[in-house]
Amino acid sequence: MDHILKKIPAFDPGTVWLLGAGPGDPGLLTLYAVEGLRQADVLVYDALVSDAILSLTNPDCELIYAGKRGGKPSAKQQDISDRLVQLAQEGKRVLRLKGGDPYIFGRGGEEALTLNANNIPFRVIPGISSGVGGLAYAGIPLTHRTTNSAATFVTGHDANGAVPSVNWEHIAKGSPVIVIYMGVKHIAEITSKLMNYGRSPDEPVAIIANATLPDQQMVTTTLATAVTDLANSGLEPPALIVVGHVVDLHNQLGWYLKTANSPE
């Protein structure tokens, strides 16, 4: 282990690490992530980062909350990006900590572009996205040889908070498994679109909240009944929505499963 840790790059003053904290379980952090948390002078973190992960910082690290949770007060994205530049120009080791992976619906690309435009050296530390790790903890493989050889990741809302203007017809007809991030608010419209474009009303759906954490919850339902079953479950966003027959495998593979509501 020591020889691996010695090869972790130095976290130099005046640089920024864009780091993915994973879906929630601190055990899913990478070695680079843990070392970055230990070395950072200042941590700029999002709402979905747990206290257990924040506790891994050194005692002198300054913690700056950036929000970024759907429907909740948050700093403007450009203000966050500019703050990273400012902190790095002050000679600090700046850790930008995001839930999941910085480049998967995490706006890490926008922040990296701002850093690049201001000649701030940066490093991207990937994290396990909830669309991968959250499914695994729910007993749902993202791909399975007997069900699907492709999967689609899509956000449930665009920059303006509306249903994104992706080609829902092509997604409905072409992707056997659809993983929808941040889609609870628009679940009625999204499920309606998928059924209108040919998906079976009986197709399995899972809705997962607090993925990989001790209070993980999952609703298993169908496209036709997802809206009603979600409303009756008490499950709160943010949550991940999974559409496809891989959902049925959770009965056999749900090693970590805590089901909030599983209508038959």
* Domain-wise residue ranges, the chain: 2-125, 130-261
Q: What's the CATH code, domain 130-261?
A: 3.30.950.10
Architecture of the structural domain at 2-125? 3-Layer(aba) Sandwich (3.40)
The single residue listed with the structure tokens 């530049």 is 85
> Quick check: 72 pLDDT over 60?
no
Q: How far is CA 133 from CA 1, 99, 154, in A?
A: 24, 12, 16
Residues near 126 by beta carbon (within 8 Å), at least 6 away in sequence: 20, 30, 101, 102, 103
Both tokens of residue 41?
């002078």
- Say if pTM beats, i.e. exceeds, 0.75: yes
Q: Which amino acid is at 33?
A: A
Which residues carry out catalysis?
46, 68, 182
Tell me the C-alpha distance between 204 and 190, whole Å.
Answer: 14
Tell me the C-alpha distance between 67 and 80, whole Å.
Answer: 10
Query: In this predicted model, what pLDDT tens digit does every residue of 73-115 receive, in sequence order?
Result: 567 888 999 999 999 999 999 999 999 999 999 899 999 999 9
Q: In what order do the strands lie in the sheet with 217-222?
A: 152-155, 178-181, 239-243, 204-209, 217-222, 259-261
Query: In this predicted model, what pLDDT tens digit does every residue of 161-173 receive, in sequence order?
Result: 888 899 999 999 9
Query: In this predicted model, what pLDDT tens digit does every residue of 112-155 receive, in sequence order?
Result: 999 999 999 999 999 999 999 999 999 999 999 999 999 999 99
The single residue listed with the structure tokens 């994104």 is 164
